[in-house]
Every structure is written in structure tokens, then in C-alpha cells.
Structure 1
Amino acid sequence: MDNFTKLLNKSFRFLSYRPRSEKEVVEYLKKKISNFQFPISNFKTAEEIIDSIIEKLKEQKFIDDTEFAKWWIEQRSKVKPKAIKFIIFELKQKGIAKELIDEILNDKEFEVISDFDKALELAKKRIKRYEKEEPKKAYEKMVRFLASKGFEWEIIKKVIDQTFPKRYNT
């Protein structure tokens, strides 16, 4: 098996765990390619071989930034809820263009759960952990927990008002 095929197989393995953005795959290949001697097959540089692998993965629909971004938003909305601004930040870090993110979020057919609904659901699940806590401590922990998920203070306050008895959230 030649080195090109080895790198391509490593890419397939990397993509088998979860969908990836193009940028993630490029960064992964840059790390892996440093172990190989050049020239590899017909390629003179690392960039040439990475471009070729990325092109092949795109042709076979293993890399699609639009589908990846939709998947990521869905995961961060339902499975591991985060605030939308936090999700946007993560997508930008993964190399997804702001225009593509906006296009997906504005798509009427793509359901985006509101930050308030996500925060409320998280708080309802989390409040059980705080039953034995002193009310003020429980309140503070809930605020920190929701803030760590990227929710803004206005949303946190509304959620706290709904999940905590009035006398505790002062």
C-alpha cells in the first residue's frame, strides 16, 4: 500500500467517528503527513497531497461543510444544548464560513431550538442535583452552569424565574 492510500485510509478512519469540517480534516492530515517522506506517489508537497485527498473526500461526499454545520447545530441544540452564539463560535473555529452559518440558521426548513427553550430544558434537568443544596448556593450554581453553556444573562434570568421559587432568586 502506498503512502497516499495510507493517508486516505487514515482520513476515512478519522471521519468514521463523527462528521468533520474540511478544516478539521486538513489539520488532521497536516499532523499525519509529517511522518511521511516526500515525494509521495506523484506529489511533491504536503499541500498537493492534502488537496488531492480533500478533493477525493468531497467527491465521495465524506466532507460537506453544509451538512456538517447542520449536523453540528442539531447536536448542540438537542444532544448537548448550547446557546446559539456559542454554536456559531464553535462552527467558526471549525472553519465554517459566517455566510454559510447564517444561511443555515435562516433556512425555514431547518429547525433551530430557541436559546430560552434549551436553557429551560437544561435547568429542569439540572435542578434535581441541587435539591439538597442551600437555596442561594443552588441558585448561584445554576447561573454558573447556564452561563458556561453560553446563555446570555437575560435568558438565564428568565429561566431562573421559572425554575426557582421566587424567594430564592434575588
Structure 2
Amino acid sequence: MPKIIHMELKRGRPERFIVHWDNGDITPFSPDTVLRYQFSIDREFDEEELKPIFFEDEVRRAKDQILRYLAVRPHSRSELFSKTIRKGYPPEAIDQALNDLEQVKLIDDRQFAEQFIRTEMLLRPSSKRLLREKLLSRGVKRELVEELLETLCPPQSQEEALLYLIQKFWKANQRYQTKKRLEKLIRYLQGKGFDWDLIQWGIQELNLREEE
């Protein structure tokens, strides 16, 4: 039966107890686990008894890591899984931690995607195509992405976003001749994911070809 021969508290964010076993293994545990299972020097554990304790602690530590990511900015479930697994946590523990946090609505891909679309349209207006690419690259399911884009990005909002970007770009690039400015504008809008028909409509709508 494995026996604890030494324990030390590692300060930091987060705090961890480093537990040394008589078989030479060294494992980190969260303070919550150490207190809950009354870890102490010379305490012996049955092998089968330790398995669920290890898993529970891995889930708890993975959850702590995920919460630190969420404290910085919202994330999709897929983003959180990818980031956390790079920290060395087992996939099963990460999945359980994510499930637990989903149950209390701290992770919600629908809410994440809605907030992402609204923020992008407010701060960085762009096309539905570019928004779709960004959300898919963050692991949001395609069906959800299409549903939300249909609801939150109707054709009128795309036209408004395009006209806003054209006017902003046109004003910021007055040093160029009209022809050069139009060429740069078209490349800029294509980079934002707008298709040629809509770009052409926006240019005609604002009569830019007639400006000098």
C-alpha cells in the first residue's frame, strides 16, 4: 500500500501540495483534496482507493486552470479543451471539468458565440463569412454558427457594416488618388470577407468613383 513519506506546500497560483510516496512517486494535489482525504505523513492508501482520489483531484485542478482562462476572456468549450490539454491534464479529467462548468453555465457555446458576434460587429465590423471563419476556428459547431449568424447578421446589418467600413477607410486614406484609394479599399474589404457584389454596391451607393 502506498504511504506518504513527505509533503510540502508549493506556494503560487494555484497553491499545490507536493506529495512524496514511499514507492518513489511524487504527485501534486490541490489543498482541497489534501484536506478532504486527510493526507498526512505515514498515511497509507489502498491502490484502488487512490484511483478515484487521483481522478477527482485532476478534475479539480483542470477546473482551476479553465477558470483562470475564463477570467481573462470568454472561451468556447473547444478552445478551453485545447488550452488545458497543453498543460498536461488527462483528456478525461478535462472533459469532466468542462461538463461540470457547463452545468452551472460558466461555459456556454451559444452565449459565447452570441457575445463574440455582437462584440465583433460593434468593434470590428466585418462580413458574415469572416465571422463564420472566426467562430469555426474557435471550435463552435457549424449548425450553431449558421443559426446565430442568420439571426444576428441580417442582410441590412451587413450593408450597414460595409458602408461604415468604406467611409472609415476612405476618410483615413485621403492622401491617395481616387483610383489608388479604390484599389486599396477593395482589397481591404475583401480581406474582411465581403463578396464582390456587395463591395460594388457599397462603392456605387457612396458615389466614390466620382470623388477626386
- Cα deviation digits, residues 13-59 of structure 1 (max 9, x gap): 2112221110000000111126xxxxxxxxxxx12111121112212
Q: Higher Cα Rg: structure 1 or 2? A: 2
Query: How many residue pairs end up in the alignment?
Result: 156
Residue in structure 2 matched with residue 14 of structure 1 by the alignment:
69
**Higher share of residues assigned strand:** 2
Residue in structure 2 matched with residue 133 of structure 1 by the alignment:
176
- Aligned-pair distance for 1:101? 2.0
| Structure 1 unmatched ranges of 5 or more | 35-45
Q: Distance in 2 between matches of 1:27 and 1:166?
A: 48
TM superposition score normalised by structure 2: 0.66
TM superposition score normalised by structure 1: 0.81
Of the three residues 120, 137, 149, the one matched with 2:163 is: 120
Residue in structure 2 matched with residue 146 of structure 1 by the alignment:
189
Letter in 2 for 1:96: V
Of the three residues 144, 157, 162, the one matched with 1:100 is: 144
**In the TM superposition, what are the counterparts of 1:61-72 in structure 2 within 5 Å?**
61-72=105-116
Does structure 2 conserve the Cα–Cα contact (< 8 Å) formed by 1:7 and 1:33?
Answer: no
Does structure 2 conserve the Cα–Cα contact (< 8 Å) formed by 1:69 and 1:91?
Answer: yes
- Aligned-pair distance for 1:164? 4.7
Does structure 2 conserve the Cα–Cα contact (< 8 Å) formed by 1:120 and 1:159?
Answer: yes
Q: Distance in 1 between matches of 2:143 and 2:61?
A: 35
Superposition RMSD in Å:
2.2
| Structure 2 unmatched ranges of 5 or more | 1-15, 17-28, 31-57
CA distance change for structure 1 residues 111 and 90 in 2, over 3 Å: closer, same or farther? Answer: closer
Q: Which has the higher contact order (CA 8 A, sep 6+)?
A: 1
Residue in structure 2 matched with residue 79 of structure 1 by the alignment:
123
- Cα deviation digits, residues 70-98 of structure 1 (max 9, x gap): 11111222211110011112212222222
- Aligned-pair distance for 1:63? 0.8
Q: Distance in 2 between matches of 1:20 and 1:90?
A: 12
Quick check: 142-151 or 110-119, which moved more?
110-119
CA distance change for structure 1 residues 111 and 138 in 2, over 3 Å: closer, same or farther? Answer: closer
Does structure 1 conserve the Cα–Cα contact (< 8 Å) formed by 2:203 and 2:209?
Answer: no
Aligned-residue identity in percent: 27
